[in-house]
Amino acid sequence: MARHPGGNSIGFLGVLIIVIHLVASGCDSNKAPASNQPQNGGLVLPGGFSALVVVDSLKGRARHLTVNDNGDLYVKLRFPDSLGGNAALRDTSGDGRADIIKTFDDYQDRSSYGTEMRIHDGYLYFSSVTRIYRQKLTGDLVPTSEMELLLTDRQRPRQHDTKPLAFDQEGHFYTVFGAPSDACQENDRSPLSPGLFPCPLLESRGGIWRFDLNKSNQFQEDGEKFATGLRSVVGMEWNNETNGLYAVAHGRDYLHNTWPNAFTVWEGAVLPSEVFIRLDKDSDAGWPYHYFDQIKNKYFLNPEYGGDGNKQGDTTHLTPPVLGFPGHFAPNDLLFYTGDQFPAHYHNGAFIAFHGSTSSSPYPQSGYFIGFVPMKNGQPAGPWEVFADGFAGIDTIINTSDAAYRPMGLAMGPDGSLYISDSEKGKIWKVEYKGDKAAFGDKDLAPMQQRKLTATNIKTPDETKDRVRLPGMEAIDEAHLSEGGKLFNTYCSVCHQRNGRGNDRFPPLDGSEWVNGEKAPLIQIILNGMRGEIQVKGKSYNNVMPKLDMIPDEDIAHILTYIRQHFGNEESAVSPEEVTAQRLVQ
C-alpha cells in the first residue's frame, strides 16, 4: 500500500487514478498552478474583461495560433524541437487551461520566422519560411491525415521571409514574398547607400501573391502578383464584411542611422509608420521608393531616392493606408472580431498584435501591446485604442530582451474569446468579457486611453524629455562623448544598443570574442559587413551587418577603439593606419 509522505495511506485505487491523470495530461509541466499567476496573467485590459493563462510556456515558444470549433488550440512553434514544428493543446478539465500538449509534424525549413497557423474549411494550414502546408482535420487532437505541400518558395531563406496566409471567398489563398532589404539600396543598410532604380526586387519580392487553394505543389510562378510595395508583412486577414484583403506592414528601418544628415535621432525612432492597409488588385504601398509618415499623414520619398523628410515625389498611384501607427511597433498579427461575446463596440473591429521594436534607442522601445481599431464598413470608426498591455512586465523597455513577453499571434475561439500568444516563452492568454455588454462604454475605455497617452512603450516620445539613460551608461554624458562614441551612436547603436548589450536580433559587444579578439577580422567586418549565422558569447545570431566602407578610416578607427575600450572591454586601440592596411587587402 502506497503511503503519502505526510503519513496518509492513499491505496492502490488512488495510485491508479494519479497514473491515469498523468497519462491523459501528457505528463506536461507547462500547466502552472493558477495561484502562481498574477491577476489577468499580468495583463491590463478595459473594464469588464479578464484574462486566463491557458499555458504558461511552450517548449519551442510560439508564433501564430488558431482555435478549432471544439476549442483545441494549434500553435506554430518558434524554435521547434525534434518532435515537430507545431503544437496541439487541449483542455479536458473545463478550467480553460491546457492539460494536454503535443508537438507534431516535422517539415523542412523550420525557423524562428516561419509563422502561420490557421484553420480554414476543415483544414489546418501552417507555414515555414519557404513552404506552406495543410492537413485535413480528422477529429483527433493531432491530425492523422497526410501533410500536403501547397507552395514552395524556391529562393533560399532570407530576411523578411514569412508566409502568413489569408483566404478569400472564391477559392484563393494569399501569401507574402518579403523583400530581403531595408530600402533596396546598392549596399543594404549601409550609410548613404543610394537605392536601385528600378528596384529589381519588386519583380519577385516585396508583395503579396494569390494562389489556387485547391492545387498542390505550387511555386511562385503559379500564382498571380496581387499587391506590391510591401517590404515585410507578418499579419494579414481577409475581411468578409467588406470582401477585401487587409494587412499590417512593417515600415523600413534606419532613417537616421543611414541618413544622419537628413533625419534626426528622434525621427529615426518614430518614423516611418507601420501601416494598416486594405489591398485590392494592383495596390501599391510605396516600398521602396516611399514611406508613410503617420504624423503628417502623407507618403514621402525615401532618402535613398532623393527624399529628405519633405519631398513627396509622385504619390498619385499609392494606396492610402486605413491608418498609420508609429514606427517600429512591429505589427505581427491582425484579426477582425466577428464573435458575439465582446461588447458591440468591438464587432467587426480589428485587433492588432504589436510585437515591439528593437530599434527605438535612445528612446524607449515601443509596441509590446494589443491594439484595437473600431471599424465600420472597413474603415476606422474612431481613434485606435489600447486593448491589452503589460506583456513586457516593466514600465520602460530599454532593450528588447528586457521584455518578459512579446505579443505575437491572435485567434478567436468558438465562444468569442480572444487568444493571444507570446513569442518569448510560449505563453498563451485567453481574454474573456464578463461584464454587462449593454453598460460597456467610455468609463471602461478611459484607463486604456490614459495608457495610450502616458505609457512609454505606446506614446510618441518627447524628443528631449523621453531619452532614456541606459544601464551601464549612467556616468556618461552623451553631450561629451568621445568622437568614437558619437560615431558609434550614429551608425551602430540602433542594432547593438547604446549600452553595447544588443538584443534578440543583434549580438552584444560587451565581452564579445569578436570585439576583444584580433583586430584584423574586426576591421574586415566593418569594411565588408557580414551575413549569415555567427556565435557570440555562446548564442547564435543570424542577421545582416551592413558594410561601413564609405566611412573614413579615421572614423572607423574611432568606432572600433570605442567599442574595444567601453562596455567592460579593455583592449588596445585601433589606429587609422591599421584600418587602411585592411582596406588594401580587401
pLDDT tens digits, 247-257: 999 999 999 98
The CA distance from 540 to 531, in Å, is: 13
Mean pLDDT calculated for residue range 3-8: 36
381, pLDDT greater than 80: yes
**Residues facing residue 299 across a β-bridge:** 292
Tell me: domain 484-584, CATH 1.10.760.10, correct? Answer: yes
Identify the pLDDT of residue 19: 35
Q: Are 210 and 172 in contact (CB under 8 A)?
A: yes
The CA distance from 432 to 41, in Å, is: 12
* Omega cis (within 30) before 157: no
Identify the pLDDT of residue 232: 97
Count of helices and strands (H, E) across the chain: 9, 32
Domains of the chain: which residue ranges?
12-454, 484-584
Q: Are 305 and 195 in contact (CB under 8 A)?
A: yes
12-454: what fold? Neuraminidase (2.120.10)
92, pLDDT greater than 90: yes
C-alpha triplet 266, 290, 379: angle, nearest 5°? 90
> Within 13 Å, how many C-alpha atoms sit on residue 361's CB side?
25
Residues of the chain with pLDDT > 90, as a percent, come to 76
475, pLDDT greater than 50: no
33, pLDDT greater than 50: no
Mean pLDDT calculated for residue range 104-125: 84
Residue 412 grid coordinates = 478567436
The CA distance from 410 to 333, in Å, is: 6
Mean pLDDT of the chain: 90
Identify the pLDDT of residue 478: 61
Q: Dmax over Cα atoms in the chain, in whole Å?
A: 84
Residue 518 grid coordinates = 584580433
The pLDDT confidence band at residue 109, using thresholds 50, 70 and 90, is: low
Q: Are 173 and 167 in contact (CB under 8 A)?
A: yes
C-alpha triplet 529, 176, 75: angle, nearest 5°? 95
Of the two residues 507 and 470, the one the predictor is more confident about is 507
CA 402 vs CA 173, 390, 399, 424, 460: distances in Å: 37, 13, 5, 11, 20
> What phi, psi does 491 have (nearest 5°)?
-100, -20
Identify the pLDDT of residue 346: 98
C-alpha triplet 176, 268, 294: angle, nearest 5°? 65
Identify the pLDDT of residue 159: 83
Identify the pLDDT of residue 453: 98
H or E stretch covering 484: helix 483-491
* Span 44-84, pLDDT tens digits: 999 999 999 999 999 889 999 999 999 999 999 987 665 67
Q: Are 495 and 563 in contact (CB under 8 A)?
A: no
The CA distance from 150 to 134, in Å, is: 7
Q: At what angle do helices 553-564 and 576-584 cross, to 10 degrees?
A: 120
Question: Taking the complete model, does pTM exceed 0.75, yes or no?
Answer: yes
